[in-house]
Structures are given as C-alpha cells and as structure tokens.
Structure 1
Amino acid sequence: MSFPVFLKTGDQVKVNDHVYCSPSWSVRDGTPYSIARIMEFLPPEGTPKGAGSNSQPYLYTRVRLAWYYRPSDVSDRAVSDSRLLLAAIYSEVCDINQLRAKCHVVHRDKITDLAGWKKRPDRFYFNRLFDPYIKKEFEVIQATDVRNLPENIRETLISRYEYVVAEKEVVPELTDAIRLCDTCNEWCESPETVQCDRCKKYFHMRCVQPPLLGKPSRGYGWTCAPCSKQHEEEVDSHDVRHPTPTITKPKSNAPPVRGRGRPRKDRGQAEREENLPVKHFNMWPFRYFGQYTNAKDTLDPDDLIFPRTATRQGPKYQANVPLAPDPNAIMSTDPDERGGDSTIQILSVINTLTDAEVDEMESYKDHLSSNEELKHGVDWLTEVIRRYSDAIMTSRPLSTVNMTSPLRYEKWKKNETRYTDKEWSKEEKYAFEEGIFSYGAELRAVRDEVGTRQMPEVVRYYGHWKNSKLGEENRRILRQGQPSKPPSERYKSISDANNGQRVGLPDDDASIIESSATLVCGACRTRESETWWKAPKHISANALCESCGMNWRKYADLNVRPSREESLPVTKTKASTEKREGTPLQGPSAKRSKTSASAHSTPPPIQSNVPQLRCMCCQQSGPLGKVLKCKKCQLRVHTGCYGAIVDSDSLDSWKCDLCRNEETMEASVYSDCLLCPRTRKNNKAAPSDNFLRAFKPTEGQGWAHALCAVFTNDLTFTDASRLRLVEGMNTMNPRRFSSKCHLCGSSDGAVVRCNDCPKEYHISCAWKHGLKFGFEIQPVKNNRREVTSFKGETGSMVALILCKDHDKSRRDIYDICEADDTGETALQAYCRTYKQAPVSQAHGLLRKARRLDQIINLPDNLVNPDPGSKEPKCYECKTEFAPAFYSYVPPKQQNKVWLCHRCSLGSPHKREAIHGSMPDST
C-alpha cells in the first residue's frame, strides 16, 4: 500500500518527480544541492515482504534517485548557464530525509520559451547525457525524432522510452528518413551499409556484386555499377564537362535550432510543458541507441540501456605471448632459480616446535623489549617469530636473538630493509590527516600532501591509522553502550496511511547564522539580509545573504565580487566553476553509509583534482593562489597573512622563507624565534599550533615568528608588504625580557600585555592556548595619530591579544586573514600603515644607529646629518659613511672637526673628550 510523502515545504512528492537532495551541512561541506528524479520509495532495509499490505502499511525510509550532474561537476570548462544539467543513467539509494524541495527538469526540445523558463525559480533543462563510467557525453534526442529504423523497432523504441542517447555524429543518421537497400529493399544498418557517391543510394555490402569486404578509406568514394558504367560512357564519348567545383554544406537531418527571437509569453503553455507526461521503461526514460548498438537488441526488454564504447580487441590491447619452449632442448639448470627449494624464504617454524620449545621462546620474548605497546604490535611480533625461526634453523641459541636493529636481510633484495617504518613526526601526522580530510582514501594524493614518505609507508600508516579510529569507536561503544538499531530492526507501522509521511532534514535551520552588524555577504558584499546562511568553504567570508545563499544551494551560482588577491591564479567569474568532490552525496570528510545500490548503476565520476587548501592560521580553506603551500615543508598559509607575493606560474613551486634559506643561506640555519623562550621544545610547533611554523628573517640574520613580529609594537619591517627583515630587535624594551609569562611561567623571551588586563604572556604561548588574536579599529579624536581604512571603517587600527576571560561578542574584531572588498587582509592593512620602516629617509645601518641613539646616553656633540644636507666627512679617515659623526676640537686648534665613530675611539684622549670618562678597553 502506498501513501503520500510530504516534504518540509509542504509539497507532496511522487515517483518521477524531480527534487533537490542533499545530506546534512557537515557532510556535504557546503556544496550545492544535488538534483535527481525519484525512481521509487523503499521501505526500511530488511522489512519483511508481507509488510505494506492494506492491513499493515509502513513508513518509507529510503528512496532510489536518478542523478543529474551539473557541467561543472564533470568538466573544468566554465558554463555560464546555471540551469543547464547533464542527465545520467546512474541511480543510488539514499535516506528519504535527504529530500529538500521540488524542482522541474525538462528536455530542451520540450521548452518553447527558454529565456522565460530560466527566469522561473527551480526550473532546469538538459540536452546531453554524461556517462560516469566511460567519462563521455552523449546527445539526447526525443525518441519520436528517430526515423531511420524499421517500423517494428521504431514502434518498440517509441512505446517504451521518451528519449534516445547517441553520439553527436550519429544523430543526423538516426533522424534521417529510413534508408533501404536498393537491391533487397531492406533496412540498411549503418555498419554494413555503403552509399553510392553519385546517385546517393544505399546498398548492403553483401548485396553488391561482387560483395564488398570493407568500406572505402577516408577521403575516397564508392559508386555503384550503373553509375560507374554511365561515367565510363560519358568519358568515352568525350561529353564530360568539368564545372567549377562548388563546396556545398551537407544537409543535416538533426532537429532545427530554435531561433533567438522574442518568444510569445504564455504562462499556461509553460505550465503545460513542465507537466507533460514522460514515458518510462523499467524506471528509465532513455536508452542508448548509438554507434555500438545492435538495433534488434532493442526488442529485448532485458537489453542493457547504458552507453557503450568500442571493445578492446586486437593486437593493441592483447598480450603478445611468446612461443612455448622446445621440450627437447637442453635447459641449463640454475641452482638459484626462482621457485626452487634453495630460494624458499621461511617466515616461521613455530608449527614444527614442541610445547617446551614454544614455552622457552615465550620466556625469551619478554626480555626483547620493555615497551608493552610495542609487544602487541603486529610488525614487531612478526619479526620476532622470523628471527627466532632463523635461529632455530641455523642451530643458534635463542638467547642470541635481539631486536635492537630494525633492519633485516631478505633474499632477492640487494640491501637490507626495515621491518617497520620510522616513527612519524607530528608534522607528518598532521599533513596526513589533512590529506585524508581533503582527498579521502585517495592515498596517492595524500602521499603528495605529506611529501616526506613513500607510497608503501603511507599505505601501511593508513592501515594503522584506520585501526586506531576503529579502536576508539569500539571503546566509545563499550563506555556508552550499543548505538541505536538500524532502520530494518526498528520497523514501524502506521495506523492511518492517509495522513502521509513528513520527511526532511533540519539542516537548513542549523546552517542559519544569527544576524549581526558585522556580517557581510561573501558574494554581493551586502550587510542587510533577513536571513544569513553559512558560506561554502571556498568563500573567504563566513556568511551569505538570503538571495546569494539560495542561489548557491539550488543553482550553484555565486557571483563573487573580484578582489585583488584573486588575481594570482586564473580567475573565473562564477564560483560554480569549482568542481564538487565525489558523487552528489559524497562529502570529502565523511564516509557514506552503506546502501543497497541499483542493479543497473554505474560507478560515480572521479573526484575533482582541484583541491581546497586549508590555511594553518585561520583554518579556512581556499583554492591554490589564495592559500599557498610550501613545496618542501607543506606550510599552508593565506598570501595575506604571510606576506607572500607569487606569480601564477610559480604557485606549485613556492617555498617559504625557511626552506628558501636552505638554498640561499641568507640567515642563520638555526630557526629559533628570538622573541620566544630559548628552548627548542617550546619553539617547535605542534600540529594544532602550526602557524608558528611561519618564520621571517631579522636584520641580524636571525629568525622570528611572523605572528610575534606583527603583534610586538617595538618591531617594524623593511618591506611591510612581504613582512621581510624584522627591524628593532636589539632596541626593544628590556622589561619585555625580564617579565614572566602568565601561561608558561618562564621569564625567558619577550612578553606582551593583554589589551584588557595586566596579564603578560609570550605571543607563541598565547597562540598555543587559543587566545584571541585580531585587529580593532578605534575612533581617532585628533589628526595627529595615523589612521587607516578597512571594510568601510576609518580610524586607528590596533593589534589585539585578548584573554579568554574577556567578553569579545560586542566588539568588532577583525581576524588575521579577514579580507575586505579589495582582497587586502586585516594583517596587511595594519602592517602597511604601522609596521613599515622609514626606508626612504635613511639606509638600514643608519636606521639601526638612530634606534641605538635612543637607548644610550650620548653627548650633545653627536651629529645626525640630514639626508638633504651635505654629508659630514671624517677628519682623520676621510670617510663619509658611518653610523654616527661627532664634533671634536683637536689639540692646538680652535676649529671643530668631525670624527666618525671608529676614529672617536682611537685614543683615550679622544674618548674622554667626546664620550666622557670611559675605560681604555672600550
């Protein structure tokens, strides 16, 4: 017994209705809704066959859907029409609660006013079919347009199917008038037919006398016997004239292309078109009838309807097997031939030992390692048995076996190999999990993400990693009990089938963001909207307005305003050009539940090769170009938070400053941050604190975290756009290095103070403990302070670090990677305004000298020349370049002269006269 099914919108859905379908927001990761046709409603898995009768109706829990693809899902080409779809002969059984809303999908030839059709909401159309198995597109035409077929086959095709799928080059042949052999007057099937080049008549190759063994080669024609004879008579009578050849375009029999004139607006006609009946046979409205179809097979109702391609037969696809050796020939015997007794490698002889020998082996095994976790490892136990077996076969005592060396010798290998892989570092584990998050179980892509491991090591680690996840799940089950029973076991009947069934996920309500004054649409940049939706992962913003959010979910259409940062890669105006990963219901981070697939379903398309990289600072994902990935150490950061300016041609080969320093040796090989505690353990970034792997060189050839350099007010940059060469490290306030950190308790390293309380901490400690980092624009009362503008706000921008105890909900704090309309991040705007050193006023050495002058007590006769005036010159060494010059009156002279800093320390008399009383060793 069937009963109505209603969606959350209140619409009733039936078989062959088109619907939006999507799993929960967390599973689909922000991808648009998929579009499908309902093939059938299914009961819970395992429901007894007797259920569903008039006496016992049941609740539907599953639905079989026939998918439609968007062109951007299967191809990299840009398609501006967001209403165009690709049909597919691919079905899948899904949870019925994943149905979202109704829509309408109609073939292009059934639409009279296409422009008006696309203006109406929830309307789509298709004219091609994509086969996910052979990765090829086919034309879709109406079955009534096929005329070049025998009458019985054509009637069967039209009575069963609404559409026919064929190659583009086959469509004119199918839509042509029926072709009959001029000899036998039977239908000419394309593979066995030849056409006369003069009279344009068709013949079976077997009906020609003598029969043709093959068609003419490309570029050559064939003429029948009467036409050949007529041509010879014309040549013999010299009546043949050779007119000027004219190129005529061959006449096509395909359906005519609709004109672009303004159509007549008929609302009733549009509603009739969307409700036109469509014939279905075995739940499918189309079948393949193309180049590789046998027309007579159409009469068989069990014939497969899927698109086909050429068979792989012939020498190109077959193995070339050599001739069998002569059994009478004398074969040379090789003692080390593979497969002989001497080449067998014994892995274990436990089955040949007595119980006493096994007990002795167990007693020795406990002394091999004190690590209890290692003793339960499969690799370690296998190697222990292997080494004990070797000792027994060579008559060595078992006490000689040890496990200190991880290497072992194997036959047929030149070098010794490890029986277990090296321990994975925290950075490698984090890169591995990031790869699993982005690519799933595509381990080759994960290997490229890790970068430092071979493919066998990645495969073995994936097995251990997966087992550990299963172990955690089993331990959770032991603590919390068994999960709820599957739908088949919680079979449930209803008493009144007339009320119907309500289906749908509350996911859209969960993906709505509370309205706030700081919300800005990531597409149209509006700040006003009644409803705010969560933005997909490839958008830098966190929210979309109501209009843009629904356009993205339904039509995969998102007109993102271009920004300056997007000019690095090859830009595309439509966000819909980003290919969704996997099948319509497959998310990148969650494994789909096991469902009963269709018996006639084909494999889904290959996952997209356009990955989304996650920034290690803001944990937001973005395409390559917005987020850069170091070729060597796998550091992934937004260009705006690292100060990287990279050409689009060198995105794949970009290296961070630390990795580039290994080649250029610009700075020290020790990459400890000069502002953090001086222990390598504290400076080493954990997986959750991996933005601390972003270092910048200092003017003294040292290193500092980019985060520490930006949020320390005493420091500036030689080039603020690239965050290069941190200046002011030697002239920082000494109190910063004497105060204790509130988080780690160490007084080693420079501390900063919380903006709302007197607590002080290292910047790296604050980042590791999850304190709030950001920028706030404060109003300026006078014009003396330097102001900047960001996202429409103008004022003095302040770098903030706030403790977790302070309320930050009422403050407009911009994150580090948050960008404005131009693509400039908050960090870039702050550094451009406040962190740029005055490079135009003096060179680097002079700037350093002037900073030193501010912290030491120098005499009044110190001269700091103005760059616009005449440069001073040393009286003794005649140099014009020095950090500082001093006025000095030599003995027996009355005029003052200038001495450079080096010459002013030349003698005790000069030092005392210029600098005051100083020891001689200065």
Structure 2
Amino acid sequence: MSAEVPFVILKNGDKVKINDHVYCSPAWSARDGTPYSVARIMEFLPPEGTLKGKAQSNENYARVRLAWYYRPSDVSDRPVADCRLLLAAIYSEVCDISQLRSKCFVIHRNKISDLAGWKKRPDRFYFTRLFDPYIKKEFEVILSTDVRNLPSHIREVLISRYEYVVAEKEIVPDLTDSLRLCATCEEWCPHPETVQCDRCKKFFHMSCVQPPLLAKPSRGYGWTCAPCSRKHEEEVDSHEVVRHITPSQPSKPKSNAPPARGRGRPRKDRAQAEKEENMEIKHYQMWPFRYFGLYTVAEDTLDPEDLIFPRTATRVGAKFQAVVPPLIDRDNPNASTSGPDLEERGGDSTIEVLSIVNEMKEEEVAEMERCKRALTSRSDLQSSVDWLTEVTRRMCEAYLSHRSFSTVNMKSPMRFEKWKKTETRYTDREWNDEEMAAFEEGIHTYGPELRSVRDEVRTRTIAEVVRYYGHWKNAKLREENARIRAGLPAQPEGHHAAAGASSDDEGSVIAQPSKNAYCGACRTRDSSTWWKAPKGLATSSMLCDDCGLNWRKYADLHVRPLRDGSAPPAKIKPPLAERIEKREGTPLNGPTAKRAKVSAFSTPPPPAPPPAAPQLRCLGCQKSGPLGKVLKCKECQFRVHAGSCGALVDPAAVESWVCDLCHNQKALEASLNTDCLLCPRPKRDRKSKAPYPPPDTYLRACKPTEGQGWVHVLCSVFVPETIYSDASRLRLVEGISTIPLHRWSTKCGLCEQSGGAVVRCADCPKEFHISCAWQNGYKFGFEIQPVKSTRRELMTVVNFREETGSMNPIISCKEHANTSKRIIYEICDMNDSGETALQVYCSNYKQVQVAQSHGLLRKAKRLDSILNIRPTEGHVAAKSGPEPHCFKCGTEFAPLFYPFRSDFVCHRCYFQERGADDKPCTVS
C-alpha cells in the first residue's frame, strides 16, 4: 500500500502538494504593500510543539517549509521589463500555512518550448539564474544533463540526483564542453588545473607539463605544448613558416523544417503546455540543484552529505593570514628560535574565564542564584543575556578571590577586560526616542543594510547598531507571537486549510470604496473588487481588480489582460480602460502602429506611474513620503518635503539634490555665515566642524536674502513683513529692513534674549522668536478664514482642500495648541494638486510684484522710506525720456538717476556719497 501524498486545499480552492509553487504573503499591513512572494513547497509541518512520532495521517498541518524565489527588483535597483522572470535561491523558511494565497507555476527557461506563449498565460514564471542571499551574487543555472566535461561516475551521480547545476557564468562553457582528458596522463582535466595548447587544442594538467606550469598565461597570451613549439621552431629554421589557421566548423546543411517559433501567435498545443506544467523535476533532499562551480571539488559530489550551497574563494594564505617570522636570538644571530619562553596561546594565562560555575558545589550555586535575584527586581534585566553574563562573571571573580557573593553589585556598567587598556561597558547605553526613530526609518529605507542604517542614526557605532538590531527583531517577534496567541487562529482540520474562511484575511480589499473611486493605474471606475494600492502611488490609494492582482502577483501595474489556456481568448473580457482592438499574439511590449481605440465612457489611461519609491521621513511634519515628494540632501542627509522648502527638482535628479546651504558651500553665491538674520546670534563652539544649522531639524531649511545673508524658511514665512522675489523657490528674501523696531527690541518669552524679530501667539499676547517656538514644539500652520462677498475684490482669496477664504499664518503656544477650535493646516499638508499649505500661502501672499520693478529699485525705495526721503519730480526713471548717464561713473544702466545741474548722477553713486546716516551728497 503506497503512502498517502500530503496535500492542502487553499482558501481559493487550489489543491497544492509538495514541490508545487505558490504565492505566499502575510497580511497587507505586515508586508507594507509589497507584492506576493513566489515559493516552492518543500514539506508540510504540524503545529509547533507537536510530537515528531505522531502518525502522519492524523496530522493537522499548520506550517509549511518554502524555498523562496526572488524577483530581480528585490536584489538589484536595475529595472527589469519582464515581470515573469525570477531568480532561484537555495534558501528556505518556515511560514504559517495561512499565508499561502494561490497556486502558480515556475520552471527553467530551457524546459519551455514556447516562452512567449508561456508568459501570456496567468500565474506562469520562469528562471535562468540563481541568487545567493549570503554572498549576494548571481549564478547561472543549467540542466544537469548539459554538463558533459565530467568523469562518467561523477556525471551519473549528478544527473541521478539533481535536475539543475549552479555555476559561475565564466565556467559554464567549460562544464558544457565535451570531456577533456589530459594528453599526457589521459586523466580528466578539471577547470582550474587545466591548460590548453593554442596550436593543437589539446588539454594538459599543469603538473603534467615539463617543466610544470606554476600559473596560467595572462589574459591575451597563449601557451603551446612542447611538440608544437618544437615544430614551430623547425618551420622557422627552414623558412617555411605556415600560418596556423584554426579549421572552421562545417556549415549546417539546409533544412526544409519551419523556422523556430518566435514571439508570434502562441502555441495551440494544450497537451504540450500541460506537460510542461506537470513536468517531473528531480529533487535530492528537497532541492533540485546544487553548486558545481569554480570552487567545487568534483569528488565531493559523491558524498550525499556534501553542502550544495554556492561558495567563494577560500581565505587561507598569505593574503589573509599574517606570516610571523621566527625570532632571532641576540646572542646568536645566525640561529633562529621559535620562542620557547613565550606563553602558548590558548592557555590559562592568555584567556579570560567568564564562568567557573561548573566547579562550584550545589550549595554555592544556590547561594549565587539567590544573590543574583536580589541584585535587581526588573524582569527585563533578569532575562537579559548581557546582564546575566556580566553578573555570572562578577560572581565568579568574587568566588576566586574568596569573597562573599553579597559583595557583588551591578551599579557600575563598566568592566575591565584583560585585552583592553581601558574600561568598557558590558552593555550598550539605552537608546533614546530619536535614535530609535532614526533606526526604524533606516530599516524601512535600507532594510538590513546596517552600515547604511548606522549612517542614518549617526550617534551609534556599527557594533551597537548590530546588537540593537538583534534586540529589535526579537521584540518584533515577541509582539507577533503575542498577537497570534491573543487571536487564537483556527487550525485546519486534516489535510484541508479552512476553505470556508474569508478570502480577505490579508486585509487588502477595500470593503466600502468611495463613490468617486478610481483605479490609480488604469483610471477605470468600473470594478467588482477594489484593492489597496502600494505606497508611493501618487494618483490614487486603490486599484481595480485586474491591476490589484497584477501588482500582487507580478509586481507590475501595467500588465496586459492575460489569457488562460483553458478558455478561448474571446471569453476573457479586459478591463474597461483596456478594451483595445489588437491582433492576438503581438509582442507584449511592442509599439503600436495605430492609436489605441478607447471607449467613450472611460477616462484615457494616464502615463505609467513610477514604481513604489522608498519612504523618507520629513523633518518638518515627521511624516513619511516617497522619494521625490520628500527630498534627501546628498551631502548632509537633510530630509524635507519639496514643497515646504521651495525645491523645484527634475524627477531624474532627485537622488542628487542638495540643500541650499550645501550648494552654497561650493557655489559661494551667498555668505558662508549661515546664521539667520531674524534670530538672535547663537553661541557656538568655533572649533566644532558640525554643520549649522544641524541637518536633523527643519531649521536646516534656509534661504538667501537680497543682501546675501540667510534666514530660516520658517522665519521668512511667518514674519509678516518679509516677501520673496521668487515665491515658487522661496528666494530671494526681501523686506527685512521694513520690520518695525518693536519686533527687534522685544525680548523672547522663551530664550529671554533680544536681537531677533519676534511674533505673537495667535491666541495670547506671548511673543517669541520663530525658531525658539519651533524648538519648543509650538504649533505652526495656516488658517482659512471666510471672506465676505463684498470684500473679495479687495483681498486675496485662495482655495485649499474644501475651504475658500483668506489664508493666515498661525503660531499657537502649547497652552492653546490643543484647546483652540480653529482648523489649522500644517505646513506640509497637501491639496489635491500636490501643493503644500506653505507653497499655497507663499505664492499668493509672499510674492513681490516684479513685473514693473527691479530688485535694486525696490531696495532703494525701502531705504528711502527708512531715511524719510520723498521722491521728487527731479528723480528720473532709467527708461523715461532720453537715455541719461551718470557724470561721475559714466554708467547708462541704473534703476534711478538724480539730477545734478544740467546732468545726472546714478543711484549707486548718489547713495555712496550720501550714506546711511543721512549726510548730504557731496556730488551736489
């Protein structure tokens, strides 16, 4: 009686067994919008803790071991147009069986007779390469039957066990070549030890050549054996040198067979397609392939326990190990000694004993445990590995020095190690909230690339980041296990996996979409099911049924409608926005010769949105956004929404964006003194080389003024008197000289300093500097106040979200930030067009009228108002009347000329002579 083949019925009704391929994914919130993973079922496992001897027929399968596949976009930043291409891996993991979504098919490219037809069918994938996640390198995958350059007994074992062979790309031609035998000893010539004669094309072992070769010829050079070299010398001596020509391969005879099938009409042979889907693949110890590449010993293949994983070059030799020369005796320099007086490494005097509990008596061990529990009442410390290790070490030190265990204390976190000159901490110092937030943001952006995460945290060493990463992962697993225990998920019965459960346990289906719902990919409004869209999709937060499944299965939002071989193509109806008359079987990505016919009742499809971008956290609103909306300075790592710092960046150059302060370090367009002119002068250490303002705060966003100084973006926006010559980029800042004197003379209620411009709280008479308010957590935003219809012609009215009225900047202190009933939009809140509230306010209220004026002229008028100079009839504009010129400097280009007798003097010469103290002009 044959053993029963284990199988599981998934929630969608698919019946899967061992070696079938499936989609696997946790809940939508847990995987953060990433597509499904593709994997192969290796074995079904009972619930954790089940006895191994339990009968298999009565098992309740709750877990499954999966062999993962990678998508090319998962391991590389290079885009791959083929969404059906995967990368195999010799990597497995145990998952909950409830994470299996549906069945799919994955086979090697060489086993597919019609690739174009295969890719036109749903849930079909293929692979040609393997990616090793440990050494992070790709390898070629070839059929084991294609390997010919092997001894017969090794080749037979390889073919009988494995379906595929994994090797480096450069060694594949040697493996697939015919059997190579040494011309001297007639034994097999493996690749690393083989050299080929350039004339007779025979192979030799490097040790069989006389004299033996120590290394292969350099690239671009050839080698000839002794007979061929002797023959060539005889030809040279006889002056009958014949040019050696490699015989060409005979051309293949012509055939009347039809050409190979390309990317045309798909194959109609359904039997062949079903045969490829159900093709038997050999597996040995649950794996269909093994590594047989550059660093493999061929005889090790015969060992059934030999490791099958890819390998790299060994790190043994002078390149990686230090060669210590023998010691020289000073009394006898000619005699060398190995140093018998030196302490032997690994002895008692060269190692540090961390515990000798095994040498203690039971009573002493019990006393030590009692004193250990009395040292702390914190449960987290009592289970901490670092704390327990240090306590044990200190207890053992007290035992060796014949002291009582009660004398041990853990107040000091420092310890003295034998091999270090200074004391070190036995455990890392506590992480604060800012460091933990930066760490989690780095993990979200870079994944487990801990060196990049260390650069994001900045205040921790790589060793501390690695240790904290382990604790952080354990905490996540602890929370997940607690949720599982609290939820008590139902276990499947027998060989079936709760077929009656809801198909929406992953939480990605929108149960009640809005009335104006539309797909973020194809813009259709007609769909039976609406799916949550991945993060970074700028158009909409939901996808239609076709686009949602395409993203989850193929990681592509723009896959054309698929045909299943089980149904004729006419019965499958494409989405409303994709009902395009197109000949069946045309290339997937080929250009269309005619304009697509779109239904009159549907919105034409928009251009392809960009793929899901990495999320960055803005320092202005502490919210994350995709790269492009949130920019990251290439130099100082400052992160901010593009709309809240006046950055207009080409989408192709978002990764190379630099902030204004870093750009000025090289361009030198403004002053190198980056102190804000609207804030009191900060006291800083002159020896400090840290950038100012620091890049970890929104106050790093600064803009140049018309006088080549700098002000904070916040200060320039919320001080009423300042304006911009270009509000779209928030530069140049003008009007600082028009700020009234009482703003400068009033002391700040937070820092108790004067010297900067103060503003008033919107709900009370408190006055403070804007930068001080930001650092103390005051609420910044904008309020939309309604305007009467009779006054709309006199005031600037804006539309933001669903409100219309006058937009006013608001700063509320902590006492009124939560009690005020007014609706305040934060500086980074966006409207439907993607503009931030700060952008809308500055473009409507902070833009100076530049059409009829010049920047220098505006500055001169402000200076005239300060000096109480009234414009006279003698002031002549530069463009009115005949072209005047300055009799002093001779210029004809000035915003304003002043009369002098029968001549004129330019504005610059006039104020150079007059000065700021209102002294009379010497030219007059």
Q: Structure 1 length normalisation: TM-score?
A: 0.62
Over 3 Å counting, the alpha-carbon distance change for 1:197 and 1:63 in structure 2 is same
Q: How does 1:497-576 map to 2 (within 5 A)?
A: 506=504, 508-510=506-508, 512=510, 515-516=513-514, 533-540=531-538, 543-546=541-544, 547-558=546-557
Secondary structure in structure 1 of the residue aligned to 2:321: coil
Secondary structure in structure 2 of the residue aligned to 1:509: coil
Q: Which residue of 2 aligns with 1:83?
A: 84
Over 3 Å counting, the alpha-carbon distance change for 1:576 and 1:788 in structure 2 is same
> Which one-letter code corresponds to 1:554 in the other structure?
K
Shift in Å at residue 43 of structure 1?
1.8
Q: Which residue of 2 aligns with 1:170?
A: 171
Contact kept, 8 Å, 1:68 with 1:88, in 2: the verdict is yes
Distance in 2 between residues matched to 1:134 and 1:879, nearest whole Å: 70
Deviations 1:512-535 (A, max 9, x none): 496447877665677776655544
Shift in Å at residue 68 of structure 1?
1.1
1:621 aligns with 2:628: no
Q: Which residue of 1 aligns with 2:104?
A: 103
Shift in Å at residue 876 of structure 1?
15
Shift in Å at residue 18 of structure 1?
1.4
Over 3 Å counting, the alpha-carbon distance change for 1:436 and 1:124 in structure 2 is closer
Deviations 1:54-86 (A, max 9, x none): 4xx343332211111122222343322221111
Shift in Å at residue 444 of structure 1?
3.8
Distance in 2 between residues matched to 1:877 and 1:290, nearest whole Å: 81
Contact kept, 8 Å, 1:195 with 1:201, in 2: the verdict is yes
Q: Which residue of 1 aligns with 2:595?
A: none
Distance in 2 between residues matched to 1:284 and 1:419, nearest whole Å: 43
Distance in 2 between residues matched to 1:907 and 1:800, nearest whole Å: 35
Q: How does 1:239-258 map to 2 (within 5 A)?
A: 242=242, 245=245
Q: Which residue of 2 aligns with 1:112?
A: 113
Deviations 1:631-670 (A, max 9, x none): 44x5311333312357988966834449959997957969
> Which one-letter code corresponds to 1:724 in the other structure?
R
Q: Which segment is superposed worse, 189-198 or 263-272?
A: 189-198
Candidates 282, 285, 297, aligned match of 2:288: 285
> Which one-letter code corresponds to 2:321 in the other structure?
Q
Deviations 1:692-731 (A, max 9, x none): 5534455588866535645777653112232013335666
Contact kept, 8 Å, 2:184 with 2:204, in 1: the verdict is yes
Contact kept, 8 Å, 1:842 with 1:867, in 2: the verdict is no
Q: Which residue of 1 aligns with 2:157?
A: 156
Q: Which residue of 2 aligns with 1:129?
A: 130
Candidates 841, 855, 873, aligned match of 2:852: 841
Shift in Å at residue 9 of structure 1?
2.7
Contact kept, 8 Å, 1:150 with 1:178, in 2: the verdict is yes
Distance in 2 between residues matched to 1:850 and 1:278, nearest whole Å: 86
Secondary structure in structure 2 of the residue aligned to 1:139: strand
1:448 aligns with 2:455: yes
Over 3 Å counting, the alpha-carbon distance change for 1:22 and 1:691 in structure 2 is farther
Over 3 Å counting, the alpha-carbon distance change for 1:124 and 1:798 in structure 2 is farther
Deviations 1:876-906 (A, max 9, x none): 999999999999xx9xxxxxxx9x9999999
Distance in 2 between residues matched to 1:668 and 1:192, nearest whole Å: 63
Q: Which residue of 1 aligns with 2:24?
A: 21
> Which one-letter code corresponds to 2:114 in the other structure?
D
Over 3 Å counting, the alpha-carbon distance change for 1:863 and 1:466 in structure 2 is farther
Over 3 Å counting, the alpha-carbon distance change for 1:25 and 1:797 in structure 2 is farther
Contact kept, 8 Å, 1:140 with 1:165, in 2: the verdict is yes
Q: Which residue of 2 aligns with 1:606?
A: none
Deviations 1:655-695 (A, max 9, x none): 44499599979579695695x99999xxxx99999545534
Secondary structure in structure 1 of the residue aligned to 2:67: strand
Contact kept, 8 Å, 1:638 with 1:817, in 2: the verdict is no
Candidates 319, 324, 327, aligned match of 1:316: 319
Q: How does 1:825-864 map to 2 (within 5 A)?
A: 828=839, 831-832=842-843, 835-844=846-855, 846-847=857-858
Over 3 Å counting, the alpha-carbon distance change for 1:185 and 1:5 in structure 2 is same
> Which one-letter code corresponds to 2:52 in the other structure?
K
Distance in 2 between residues matched to 1:417 and 1:162, nearest whole Å: 54
Residue identity (%):
50
Over 3 Å counting, the alpha-carbon distance change for 1:801 and 1:21 in structure 2 is farther
Q: How does 1:233-272 map to 2 (within 5 A)?
A: 235=235, 242=242, 245=245, 264-272=267-275
Shift in Å at residue 323 of structure 1?
1.0
Distance in 1 between residues matched to 2:439 and 2:116, nearest whole Å: 48
Q: Which residue of 2 aligns with 1:596?
A: none
User: 5+ unaligned residues in a row in structure 2: which ranges?
Assistant: 253-258, 337-341, 345-349, 351-385, 395-410, 560-606, 684-691, 751-756, 812-816, 902-906
Q: Which has the higher contact order (CA 8 A, sep 6+)?
A: 1
Q: How does 1:574-653 map to 2 (within 5 A)?
A: 612-617=615-620, 619-623=623-627, 627-629=631-633, 631-632=635-636, 634-644=637-647
Deviations 1:530-554 (A, max 9, x none): 6555444455556253354443332
Contact kept, 8 Å, 1:42 with 1:61, in 2: the verdict is yes
Q: Which residue of 2 aligns with 1:68?
A: 69
Shift in Å at residue 19 of structure 1?
1.8
Q: Which residue of 1 aligns with 2:33?
A: 30
Distance in 1 between residues matched to 2:184 and 2:27, nearest whole Å: 64
Q: Which segment is superposed worse, 236-245 or 93-102?
A: 236-245
Q: Which residue of 2 aligns with 1:398?
A: none
Distance in 2 between residues matched to 1:185 and 1:770, nearest whole Å: 85
Over 3 Å counting, the alpha-carbon distance change for 1:853 and 1:3 in structure 2 is farther
Distance in 1 between residues matched to 2:474 and 2:182, nearest whole Å: 67
Shift in Å at residue 126 of structure 1?
0.5
Contact kept, 8 Å, 2:23 with 2:102, in 1: the verdict is yes
Distance in 2 between residues matched to 1:697 and 1:329, nearest whole Å: 75
Q: Which residue of 2 aligns with 1:724?
A: 731
Distance in 2 between residues matched to 1:25 and 1:193, nearest whole Å: 54
Q: Which residue of 2 aligns with 1:297?
A: 300
Shift in Å at residue 304 of structure 1?
1.9
Deviations 1:826-857 (A, max 9, x none): 75576456643223422335435767999999
Secondary structure in structure 2 of the residue aligned to 1:169: helix
Contact kept, 8 Å, 1:426 with 1:687, in 2: the verdict is no
Shift in Å at residue 866 of structure 1?
6.2
> Which one-letter code corresponds to 2:880 in the other structure?
S
Secondary structure in structure 1 of the residue aligned to 2:170: coil
Over 3 Å counting, the alpha-carbon distance change for 1:527 and 1:770 in structure 2 is farther
Secondary structure in structure 2 of the residue aligned to 1:302: coil
Contact kept, 8 Å, 1:695 with 1:705, in 2: the verdict is yes
Contact kept, 8 Å, 1:780 with 1:795, in 2: the verdict is no
Q: How does 1:639-788 map to 2 (within 5 A)?
A: 639-644=642-647, 654-657=658-661, 674=678, 690-691=697-698, 693-697=700-704, 705-707=712-714, 709-710=716-717, 715-728=722-735, 749-750=758-759
Contact kept, 8 Å, 1:658 with 1:695, in 2: the verdict is no
Deviations 1:412-446 (A, max 9, x none): 98x99999999999877765664455456755434
Q: Which residue of 2 aligns with 1:48?
A: 51
Distance in 2 between residues matched to 1:116 and 1:241, nearest whole Å: 56
Q: Structure 2 length normalisation: TM-score?
A: 0.62
Over 3 Å counting, the alpha-carbon distance change for 1:150 and 1:423 in structure 2 is closer
Contact kept, 8 Å, 1:695 with 1:703, in 2: the verdict is yes
Distance in 2 between residues matched to 1:37 and 1:228, nearest whole Å: 55
> Which one-letter code corresponds to 2:456 in the other structure?
E
Deviations 1:295-315 (A, max 9, x none): 343333222222234433443
Shift in Å at residue 285 of structure 1?
0.9
Over 3 Å counting, the alpha-carbon distance change for 1:236 and 1:549 in structure 2 is closer
> Which one-letter code corresponds to 2:163 in the other structure?
E
How many residues align structurally? Answer: 767
Aligned residues: CA RMSD: 7.0
Deviations 1:738-770 (A, max 9, x none): 99x9x9xxxx9546979xxxxx99999799566
Shift in Å at residue 274 of structure 1?
1.8
Over 3 Å counting, the alpha-carbon distance change for 1:436 and 1:687 in structure 2 is farther
